[in-house]
Amino acid sequence: MKIAARTQVGIIGAGPSGLLLARLLTQRGIDVVVLERRSRDYVEGRIRAGVLEQGSAAVLDSAGAAERMRTDGVEHDGVQIAFDGRIERIDLQRYARMPVIVYGQTEVTKDLYQLNRLDDISIHYEVQASGVTGLDEGAARIHYQEAGRKLELVCDFVAGCDGYHGVSRQSIPADVLRTYEKTYPFGWLGVLSNTRPASPELIYTNHERGFALCSQRSATVSRNYIQVATDDSVETWSDTAFWDELRRRVPAEVADTLQTGPSIEKSIAPLRSFIAEPLRYGRLFLVGDSGHIVPPTGAKGLNLAVSDTAMLASALKAYYADGDAQGIDRYSTVALKRVWQAQRFSWWFTMATHRLADSVFDQRMQIVDLDYFTGTEAGRTSIAENYVGLPIEDPVTGHSLP
């Protein structure tokens, strides 16, 4: 096997976390190489979350990747929850003193790629990583194939940004790795369309027929979802059937003004909660979906990937600049604390808004729960603080990032 290159930090995965980490490290003169198994067009075309916490926006600012987000993104000062025949609004500015920003992950990825191209960062698309070795030795090695050749990338550290199905987490010994998982008995059917959003703010709906979410990507592009069975398929849902069902679930005042149109993209995503511990093993660090998955209900997936990245970048900067290993030693502990907090909110929001069973008792308990959280100062504050995102702790200093 041929050694293709030697670098300081090898990054597996060229999604938002991999590209953001590459940018943040390059800014400090740390050498990186990025390996991605998919094509660039595939990575940039993936439809994903579109809600950014202010902490994530600040990290993108620090990377110089926020120009389009600031001009094209839409600030939301509130979020709406519909249940029991009414709509309750959570004022994010009042209860958390900050908004969220609606800006698609696809656009974040494009912005980061353009910056990395200008930085002349080495990004290899359509290469297949098969494993990582040497994690407890003097240097780590990423084994991969490119254009039919078997190669190795030798590096000081490896950042696993390759998602749930990637090789990074699989490279941690089974007797070291602990995993926690919950699979939800439903999925989300999502439709992207060139239609006016149903509302200036996102509307999460608890309905007896199932959950619904009216979301958006811009003033002219909407992204709407309905809860479906896990064994459902896209082929069973025509555009007309989707819009009809969405109308049944959202409040009447929303349904009456809902603009419909042909779907640009339509897909079903399963919901699950997953966390791997630890997020560091020797010279390997797990970042984003390679270490944890959250239900999309709280819009935390991309934001957790950004916070992981910011923490790891700070830790590696301190290591290379000052020989300070405290940050890399604390990365897993500090990152997991925030991951579990976001997981708790995503789990609660999912359980409170989705149809869980045919039990009338359970449905009434959901209404009582939502009554409390939307009808009290404490409850509204809890939703707002979690929705806009908890602080990102620097594993080096203990202060907030960036």
List, by residue number, the catalytic residues: 76, 204, 296, 300, 387
Spatial separation of the C-alpha atoms in residues 351 and 295, rounded to whole Å? 10
**Distance from first CA to last CA of the chain, Å, rounded?**
40
List C-alpha distances in Å: 233 to 189, 330, 397: 9, 43, 48
Partnered with residue 213 across adjacent β-strands are: 204, 225
- C-alpha closest to that of 292 among 341, 247, 326, 355: 341
Give the other-Cβ count within 10 Å of 293's Cβ.
Answer: 22
Spatial separation of the C-alpha atoms in residues 84 and 80, rounded to whole Å? 13
CA atoms within 13 A on the CB side of 18: 31
Apex CA 295: angle with CA 65 and CA 166, to 5°?
Answer: 65
User: 């909660």: which residue's tokens?
Assistant: 273
Identify whether the C-beta of residue 302 lies closer than 8 Å to the C-beta of residue 49.
yes
CA atoms within 13 A on the CB side of 44: 10
User: Which tokens sit at 82?
Assistant: 């519909």
Identify whether the C-beta of residue 214 lies closer than 8 Å to the C-beta of residue 245.
no
Residue 141 is classified by DSSP as E
3-class DSSP assignment, residue 163: coil
Partnered with residue 224 across adjacent β-strands are: 191, 214
Spatial separation of the C-alpha atoms in residues 130 and 135, rounded to whole Å? 15
- C-alpha closest to that of 280 among 201, 177, 380, 163: 177
User: Which tokens sit at 224?
Assistant: 């709407």
Spatial separation of the C-alpha atoms in residues 389 and 339, rounded to whole Å? 11
Cis peptide before 16 (omega within 30 of 0): no
